[in-house]
Amino acid sequence: MNFTIRPATKADSNDMWRMIKELAIHEKKLDKVTLSYEEFEMDGFGQKPSFESFVAKVPEENKSKEGFTTVGVALYFYTYNSWKGRAVYLDVLYVMTEFRGFGIGKGLLSRVAKVAREKSCQIMELNVLGHNSQSRGFYAAHGAQDITVREGWHTQRFEEESLNKLAHNAP
C-alpha cells in the first residue's frame, strides 16, 4: 500500500487528536485523557510547541472505511538523560487498525529515529503497557530493549494532587 509520512501541521490537529483518542480507547485508558483538543493544538502548534510530530497519509483511493486518509501519527519531544545526553521521548506511535502490517508503523518509528540522530540524540525512549504484547514485540523487533526487565527501571509519576502538594511545599 502506498503511503507518505510528513511533518504534521496545525491542519492535521483534528486527525491527530482523533487517533490519540483511538489509542486511548485501544489501551482502555480513555478516562485518563483530560487534555482538551484546544490545549493539544496549542501545545503542538502554538508559539512555543511542546512536541513535534509526523503523520502518515494514504491516497484517497485507500482511505479508511470512515473516509480518513490520515491513518498514523507519531508524537515526540526532546528530553535529556544525564548519563547519555540528548534524548527523544516517543509519546505516541499509532496506526489505525485497518492499516497495520503495511510498514506504516515502522516508517513513523524510523522517521522519529532519523530526527533523533540528526539532533545528536543518543537514545529514544517510550513506554508500552505491560499487557500490550503486540506493541512490545513490534518495538523489540526493531531493536528496542525493555529496560524494566534488563535494568529494573520503573516509571514513576507525580500527578495533579501530588504535584500540587510538592509545588506548594517548595522552599
Kindly list the structural domains of the chain, giving each domain's residue range(s) and its CATH number in brackets, ordered by start: 4-126 (3.40.630.30)
pLDDT-derived band at 157 (thresholds 50, 70, 90) equals: confident
Lowest-confidence range among 32-36, 80-84, 100-104, 131-135?
A: 131-135
Q: Residue 135: left if φ>0, alpha if ψ -120 to 50, beta else—which one?
A: alpha
Which pLDDT does position 85 carry in this prediction?
97
Which pLDDT does position 22 carry in this prediction?
96
Which pLDDT does position 108 carry in this prediction?
98
Mean pLDDT to the nearest integer, 1-17: 97
Which pLDDT does position 130 carry in this prediction?
87
Please, what's the largest Cα pairwise distance for the chain? 60
pLDDT-derived band at 156 (thresholds 50, 70, 90) equals: confident
Which pLDDT does position 86 carry in this prediction?
97
Specify whether the CB–CB gap between 16 and 75 falls below 8 A: yes
Cell 501545545, residue?
43
pTM, two decimal places: 0.93
Question: Mean pLDDT for the chain?
Answer: 95
The tens digit of pLDDT for each residue in 108-124 reads 999 999 999 999 999 99
Mean pLDDT to the nearest integer, 134-145: 94
Active-site residue, from 76, 89, 94, 139:
139
Cell 524510523, residue?
110
> According to DSSP H, which parts of the chain are helical?
13-26, 37-45, 104-118, 133-141, 147-151, 160-168
The tens digit of pLDDT for each residue in 57-116 reads 999 999 999 999 999 999 999 999 999 999 999 999 999 999 999 999 999 999 999 999
DSSP secondary structure, 112-148, as one string: HHHHHHHTT--EEE----TT-HHHHHHHHHTT---HH
Residue 34 clears pLDDT 90, i.e. is over it: yes
Secondary structure of residue 167 in the 3-state scheme: helix
Q: In percent, how much of the chain has pLDDT > 70? A: 100
Whether 78 sits among the annotated catalytic residues: the reply is no
